[in-house]
Amino acid sequence: MGDLPIVRFEEKIVETVKENPVVVVIGETGSGKSTQLPQILYRRGYAKSGIIAVTQPRRVAAVSVSR
Ligand SMILES: Nc1ncnc2c1ncn2[C@@H]1O[C@H](COP(=O)(O)OP(=O)(O)OP(=O)(O)O)[C@@H](O)[C@H]1O
């Protein structure tokens, strides 16, 4: 699989998350927000100091992106 568009913004996202208590990421459908953001935060160690929670409008979608 090729890289999703969000991957290019990883450094900017991590930097912004570090500096702000709340961050809103806006991007096109399929740009990788739901599937990549939790993995980026996991790789950067955010699961060590807290939990990474993933919400979706439907239960099945929430469970599948959390795996
Ligand atoms: N590493 C990858 N490379 C390419 N495509 C991927 C990869 N991982 C997941 N995908 C696919 O890319 C799409 C990314 O969707 P994702 O739900 O993350 O986007 P999104 O930005 O959250 O979209 P939406 O705004 O519609 O929720 C999915 O169809 C998924 O199957």
Q: Which of 51, 54, 63 is closest to 34 using CA atoms?
A: 54
pTM: 0.88
1, 3, 4, 33: residue to mutate for ligand 1 pocket, most atoms within 8 A of CB: 4
When the pLDDT of each residue in the chain is averaged and rounded to a whole number, the result is: 93
* Per-residue pLDDT reduced to its tens digit, 38-58: 999 999 999 998 999 999 999
Segment 9-38 mean pLDDT: 96
Q: What is the ipTM of this complex?
A: 0.87
Distance 52 CA to ligand 1 centre (A): 18
How many Cα atoms within 13 Å fall on the side-chain side of residue 6? 19
34, 39, 40: residue to mutate for ligand 1 pocket, most atoms within 8 A of CB: 34
CA 51 remoteness from chain centre: 13
Output the CA–CA distances (angstroms, integers) from residue 35 to 19, 42, 53, in the order listed. Answer: 23, 12, 12
Task: Tell me if 35 CB under 6 Å of ligand 1.
Answer: yes
Is residue 12 pLDDT above 90, yes or no? yes
Is residue 2 pLDDT above 80, yes or no? no
Residue with tokens 């160690």: 45
